[in-house]
Amino acid sequence: MPIDPIGKYIRNPMKYPYRKKMKLGILVIYLLNENYERLLDIHLDRIEKYTKMPFTIYAATNRLLPQFLPKLKKNKNVKICDIKTTGLRGSYEHSYYLENLADYAIKDGADYIVTLHLDAFPVEYDWDLKLAQKLTGNTVLAAVIRDERIDQKPMTACMFFRSDFYLKYQPRFLVNGKDMASTLFQKYSKCITKPYESGIGFGFKIYEKGLNWYPMLRTNKGGDHYYFSSIHDNIIFHLGSASQKEKSFPGERNISLWKRLRRKVTNKFPSSRYAGIKDKILESPLRKFFPDVESRQKAFENEINQLFCDTENYLHYLKTGSKQL
């Protein structure tokens, strides 16, 4: 029986022209740096432009800066969800809001669900239909992947699945402590770099149940950085690390800890004394242990500036390697 991701099951399209419209629930946690309002505009615009199914964006805005709320409230495609604010941070906070948003979407009748980061959006028409067509047989998830060699887990920058899979298997976005200590998880996580990131719970559930998922690999033909501004499967763009001032590219957590220590030490000394000890105590170790931190920060700013200044040409360049439309 052929499967139509919009019309569900169609035995004979000529005899039965009526098709039940399938609904897509898009889950987004909106946490935005005050300087990146343009990113919010691009994100919302591209979702509306390229999505084929009827859709609703289910938004968590608990920690969104208040100046951005009116834009979401005015958007007809956005439903701001009333979720109790949590004190959790990092992946635990992220997973908490995503699971609440998934509940909202399912109760609202979503047939398909996709998670997107604020700095991720489609760059191809009918992207949702193309991902829905990947979900056949035992393949229950399509998701972006950072590195197919050393980090083989789905990432919440874009995770696309059916609501019936979610209801049947009840995957969590994170793995709980009991499962993480299990022999099965230890075997699964051999090719996982960061087992505490949200999304790994889906990967482990699929592994545990003997199911499959479709990894959306990085397909850039253009681009100036190995991590920022990724195109996945030629249909999803993910900038990476745009929600906070301190970026979350690989290794950045240690760098951020060092920077916070440096700020605390700096505050203890008058500027004249700090000038004398700055290089010996603080700057030299930073350069020694994290030699490319400044270049990565500059790389991020370079990528986001290109995205803001000439969005269409920049995305075209990332996809094709050509800088002219």
* Burial (CB count <10 Å: 0-12, 13-18, 19+), residue 52: middle
**Per-domain residue ranges for the chain?**
3-241, 252-289
Higher pLDDT among residues 221 and 161, named by residue: 161
Nearest to 225 by CA among 115, 306, 157: 306
Q: What is the mean pLDDT of residues 220-229?
A: 77
CATH code for the domain defined by 3-241: 3.90.550.10
Least confident of 12-26, 62-76, 135-149, 202-216: 12-26
Spatial separation of the C-alpha atoms in residues 195 and 185, rounded to whole Å: 10
Structure tokens at 142: 């399509």
Q: What is the mean pLDDT of residues 56-65?
A: 97
Residue 248 phi/psi, 5-degree rounding, is -110, 35
- In this prediction, residue 312 has a pLDDT band, given cuts at 50, 70 and 90, of very high
Q: In this structure, are residues 7 and 54 in contact, taking their beta carbons and an 8 Å threshold?
A: no
* Pair type for strands 139-144 and 120-122: unpaired
> What H or E segment, with its residue span, contains residue 301?
helix 293-309
Higher pLDDT among residues 13 and 27, named by residue: 27
Tell me the per-residue pLDDT of 198-209, one tens digit each, with 9 for 90 and over: 899 999 999 999
Q: In this structure, are residues 255 and 289 in contact, taking their beta carbons and an 8 Å threshold?
A: no
Spatial separation of the C-alpha atoms in residues 98 and 47, rounded to whole Å: 18
> What H or E segment, with its residue span, contains residue 296?
helix 293-309
Q: At what angle do helices 293-309 and 311-320 cross, to 10 degrees?
A: 120
Q: What is the mean pLDDT of the chain?
A: 83
